[in-house]
């Protein structure tokens, strides 16, 4: 297990979230999640402009083993997707904390306070 970046927030559903400028939240999946999934073969990206609620399913990652839903950590509007994952989903396996999947313009960025910090997330995955 790699070290968890301290500057990120973590969801119980294994997404990471990073607050950027203007309340934009960049979202990806954790190293733990990509290890559990195995080699990714497909990423279904959400549609830019889509309104999402916190904990709403909005994307899917598929691996050689299984498919897994991804959830938005905050309510808001999808403002960007990482199109390069359509051709190269393995980027998530290679660098899960660099290969973001989508960005949400948060209605309320303080909702990120509901997510776990790195220490709490580490304790959760250690217990799994």
Domains and CATH numbers, the chain: 9-127 (2.40.50.100)
User: Do 62 and 42 touch, CB atoms closer than 8 A?
Assistant: yes
Instruction: Count CB atoms within 10 A of the CB of residue 4.
Output: 20
DSSP state of 45: P
Q: What tens digit of pLDDT does each residue of 21-58 get?
A: 999 999 999 999 999 999 999 999 999 999 999 999 99
Q: What is the pLDDT, as a whole number, of residue 2?
A: 53
**Residue (of 103, 127, 123) closest to 21 by Cα position:** 103
User: Do 72 and 111 touch, CB atoms closer than 8 A?
Assistant: no
Write down the pTM of the prediction: 0.96
Q: Which percentage of the chain shows pLDDT scores above 90?
A: 96
């Amino acid at each position: 297990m790699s070290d968890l970046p301290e500057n990120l927030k973590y969801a119980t559903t294994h997404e990471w979230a990073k607050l950027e400028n203007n309340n934009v939240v960049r979202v990806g999946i954790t190293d733990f999640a990509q290890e559990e999934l195995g080699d990714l073969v497909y990423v279904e990206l959400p549609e830019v402009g889509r309104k999402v609620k916190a904990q709403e399913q909005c994307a899917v990652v598929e691996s050689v083993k299984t498919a897994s839903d991804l959830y938005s950590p905050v309510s808001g509007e999808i403002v960007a997707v990482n199109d390069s994952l359509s051709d190269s989903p393995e980027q998530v396996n290679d660098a899960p904390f660099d290969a973001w999947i989508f960005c949400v313009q948060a209605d309320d960025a303080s909702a990120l306070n509901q997510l776990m910090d790195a220490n709490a997330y580490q304790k959760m995955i250690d217990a799994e």
